[in-house]
């Protein structure tokens, strides 16, 4: 599972990049785990990383699969700022 790989990377003192988070969020989206995708999106800032358009797109898509329309709208608005 992509979430496990990300956890392992952190345990081994590897610093994940935005690309790593994008891939993991995308995997969560495909597995219909919207809450994990949103949690990862929030973790980006904790690790000193900034979301890019791919991060937003994958997270919004995960919210769409989970029918989290209000959250998807908030992310879309945030992306436009």
Query: What are the tens digits of pLDDT across the range 16-68?
Result: 899 989 999 999 999 999 999 999 999 998 889 999 999 999 999 999 999 99
Does residue 72 or residue 7 have the better pLDDT?
72
What span, in angstroms and rounded, lies between the C-alpha atoms of 64 and 15? 29
pLDDT band at 77, cuts 50/70/90? very high
Give this prediction's pTM. 0.84
Are 37 and 3 contacting, i.e. CB atoms less than 8 angstroms apart?
no
Tokens of 79: 């992306």
Which pLDDT value is given to residue 45?
86
* Helix and strand element counts for the chain (H, E): 5, 0
pLDDT for the residue 1: 64
């Amino acid at each position: 599972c992509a979430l496990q790989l990300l956890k392992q990377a952190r345990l081994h003192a590897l610093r994940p990049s935005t690309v790593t988070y994008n891939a993991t969020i995308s995997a969560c989206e495909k597995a219909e785990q919207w809450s994990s995708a949103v949690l990862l999106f929030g973790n980006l800032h904790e690790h000193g990383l900034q979301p890019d358009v791919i991060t937003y797109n994958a997270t919004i898509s995960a919210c769409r699969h989970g029918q989290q329309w209000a959250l998807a709208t908030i992310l879309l608005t945030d992306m436009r700022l």
